[in-house]
Amino acid sequence: MDLYAPTISPLNTSKQLQTASDVTSTPEVADGGASDTTVMYWGCWEPPATNPQATPFQAVRIQQDQICNGEAWCWYSVTDKIGNTSYSDVAKPQIINTGQYLDKPEVTPANTEDRSAGMRVVTSLKNNFNTDLSLRDSDIVTAVWWIYDTGSTNGRRYASPRTLAHPLTSGVFTFQSLTPAPAESQYAIVSFEVERLQHSSTTAPDRYQKFSSDVARIDGSNWYTPTPGKLPAPRFDVTNNVIDLDRISGDISASIPKTDLITAASQVTLIGLGFDQGGNLVPGSDWSQSATVPFTPYPYNVPRAKVAVVPNGGDYVISYSVDNVFSPTSAAEVQQTTPPSPTVKLGSLWGWGDAEYGTLG
Q: How many Å apart are CA 212 and CA 5, to the nearest integer?
A: 24
Give the pLDDT score at 88.
94
Give the pLDDT score at 43.
96
Q: What single-letter DSSP state applies at residue 37?
A: E
186-215 exposure pattern, b = at least 16 Cβ within 10 A, e = fewer: bbbbbbbbbbbebeeeeeebebbbbbbbeb
Q: How many Å apart are CA 316 and CA 331, to the nearest integer?
A: 6
Give the pLDDT score at 358.
33
Q: How many Å apart are CA 91 and CA 76, to the nearest integer?
A: 10
Element (H, E) at 332: strand 330-335
Please state, as a whole number, how many other Cβ atoms lie within 10 Å of the Cβ of residue 268: 19
Give the pLDDT score at 55.
66
Please state, as a whole number, how many other Cβ atoms lie within 10 Å of the Cβ of residue 125: 24
Give the pLDDT score at 257.
85
Q: Given strand 235-236, what is the order of strands in its sheet?
A: 235-236, 252-256, 298-302
Q: How many Å apart are CA 111 and CA 291, to the nearest integer?
A: 33
Please state, as a whole number, how many other Cβ atoms lie within 10 Å of the Cβ of residue 177: 14
Burial of 79: CB neighbours in 10 Å, binned 0-12, 13-18, 19+: middle
C-alpha dihedral, 306 to 307 to 308 to 312, nearest 10°: 150
Q: How many Å apart are CA 21 and CA 2, to the nearest integer?
A: 30
Give the pLDDT score at 353.
36
Beta strand extents in 99-245 (DSSP E only): 106-109, 119-124, 140-149, 156-163, 172-178, 186-198, 207-212, 216-219, 235-236, 242-244
Please state, as a whole number, how many other Cβ atoms lie within 10 Å of the Cβ of residue 58: 15
* CA angle centred on 261, ends 257 and 267, rounded to 5°: 95
Q: Output the CA torsion sign for 331, 337, 341, 346.
A: positive
Give the pLDDT score at 53.
62
The answer to whether 131 and 125 have CB atoms below 8 angstroms apart is no
Q: How many Å apart are CA 304 and CA 236, to the nearest integer?
A: 13
Q: How many Å apart are CA 3 and CA 253, to the nearest integer?
A: 62
Residue type, 292: T
φ, ψ for residue 285, nearest 5 deg: -90, -15
- Alpha carbon distances (Å) from 193 to 46, 110, 129, 145, 210: 21, 21, 16, 11, 7
Residue by residue, pLDDT tens for the chain (361 residues) are: 579 999 999 999 999 999 999 999 999 886 666 678 889 999 999 889 876 665 667 889 999 999 999 999 999 999 888 889 999 999 999 999 999 999 999 999 988 777 778 899 999 999 999 999 999 999 999 999 998 887 677 888 999 999 998 899 899 999 988 988 888 778 899 999 999 999 998 899 999 999 999 999 888 877 876 667 788 888 888 876 789 999 898 999 999 988 889 988 999 999 999 988 777 889 999 999 999 898 888 999 999 999 999 998 888 999 999 998 998 888 888 999 876 755 434 333 333 333 332 333 3
List the end-to-end C-alpha distance of the chain, in Å, as a whole number.
77
**Comparing C-alpha atoms, which of 315, 303, 307, 310 is closest to residue 342?**
310
How far does CA 313 lie from the centroid of its chain? 23
- Alpha carbon distances (Å) from 13 to 57, 68, 93, 179, 269: 22, 19, 12, 38, 59
Give the pLDDT score at 144.
95
